[in-house]
Structure 1
Amino acid sequence: MIENKPLAALFMLTAAAFVAGSTLFAKALGVAGMHPFQVSSGRFIFALLGLAVASLILRPRIIRPNLPLHTLRVVLGWLGVTCMFAAVAVMPVGEATAISFLNPIIAMILAIPLLGERVGPWRWAAAVIAFAGALILIQPGADAFQPAALIALLGAVFMGAEVITIKRLTRAEKPLQILIVNNVIGVVIACSVASFVWVWPTPLLWGLMAGTGLLMVCAQACFLNAMGRADASFVGPVFYATLVFAALYDFVIYGVVPVPTAIAGALLILAGAALMVWRESRKA
């Protein structure tokens, strides 16, 4: 892919909107009593079905996929998403999301030794500003420090490491190929584990599982396009915008009116992303 940092930022913002939506679906499934392993399996099943439809139209060619790296990426992603689904089922969505959103900072740090990327002061400043906004927006209090919070933190580590594998894959393979191979492997792994806890869902739960999977695969497509057009350390902090979308969905769906501190946090998140885009555009 040709480097295009503004377009990469736009793709990442779109991915953030889809991820926030899928988290709300996963929350509903968890509240209904569905096991996190089963939620993850539904996410892979319906994501693969969506990709199958796209493949019938686009007819992609699968050319020499790096299966070991794909498998590593799937395992990391599956563990990260499962931890997130498990945490969000028993603690507030905002607090779980805030903890899991340490993953862009983890990815940015890992990108230095593993990808050879240079992270200058402007990127560090943008990441810190965005993270500070996340803390202000969510205001994680004492309730965040519970076993579920540790699960969310572990998920952040897995997802941060997954970002590195995604970046390496985008250097050699096309986004649609990565999505297809990853979700095929993901279905095998997730369904194998979920078979031990499987309970047949109601039609409503099937619909929520479908929504989770389809929204997540749309997020993946946007995420891969973003990663293929800019450094991981550049586009990673933009993903904090998911918190803004989550707050917006809370307002539209549940009528939750953001308090002034939440608005300030959202503005800081957007300011951090805007600072990075502006700085990189000036450098270009």
Structure 2
Amino acid sequence: MTTKPRFILKLSCPDQAGIVHAVSAYLLERGGNIITSAQHGDPDHQRFFMRIEFECADASQDAASLKQGFESLAARLQMDWTLVAKEAKARVVIMVSKLGHCLNDLLFRWQTGHLPVEIVAIISNHRDFYQLAASHNIPFHHLPLLNSTAEQKAAQEAKVREVLTEQQVDLVVLARYMQVLSQELCQFLAGRAINIHHSFLPSFKGAKPYHQAHERGVKLIGATAHYVTSDLDEGPIIEQEVARIDHSMAPEQLVSIGRDTECVTLARAIQWHAEHRVLMNGKRTVVFR
């Protein structure tokens, strides 16, 4: 029995009448059958967002031909859009420093088939997780930062870019990579780098957020997965999660509790990005879960 090919179309454009009709008509002309559809109209920005998963009766249909035919419609409606085969997996590089809880969690989810990506490399400024990477047969790139000079940082980031380009990476995950990326690297990775911050942003930005939370006596701590921008901890938020705490807990207990929250939050954000469920909306995101 021939499997019908499935595709995912996601788009945003100025809100106007007839968008759904036009897109549906195009898919029908190409023998497409819509499996799921989600849409959102944002009155603040007057933009329309849509994600469609569909299959085609013609088993020889591919994403390239579908995209070619869709281009004129997309141009007429001023769309930002992508159309991909559902089976295509995002090529991911994970960057990490000396805290490995998120890295270990992602590797487990990936190896057990619960994270729909292909992890092609791990980059670190320390050697701590070389053996962990080897145990999963993933190339490990140790790119140290021996000092904080601009020249040394630029040289290290040039090597990072070499790895990303060579591996044709779709997504970079900062899994507690404790270095601030340069503006140039942030621009290079715009829209395809996710960071996990160990705080419920916009509260407690920067260093030691759990200690800041303890000092303020908050009753909830959280984690935030967001896209990386040159504005530290200010990128569009994809997912957040919280955990309840109380006055009896020391900062170290908050750190321990928070690590589980970080792992879950980051994994969700990566999955939703990989499944093309996240659309950019200025400083915000639209997430079709």
Question: Is the structural similarity TM-score above 0.5?
Answer: no
Q: Under a length normalisation based on structure 1, what TM-score does the superposition of the two structures give?
A: 0.25
Structure ID, larger Rg: 2
Q: Under a length normalisation based on structure 2, what TM-score does the superposition of the two structures give?
A: 0.25
Higher relative contact order by CA 8 Å / sep ≥ 6: 1 or 2? 1
Task: Specify which structure has the higher proportion of helix.
Answer: 1
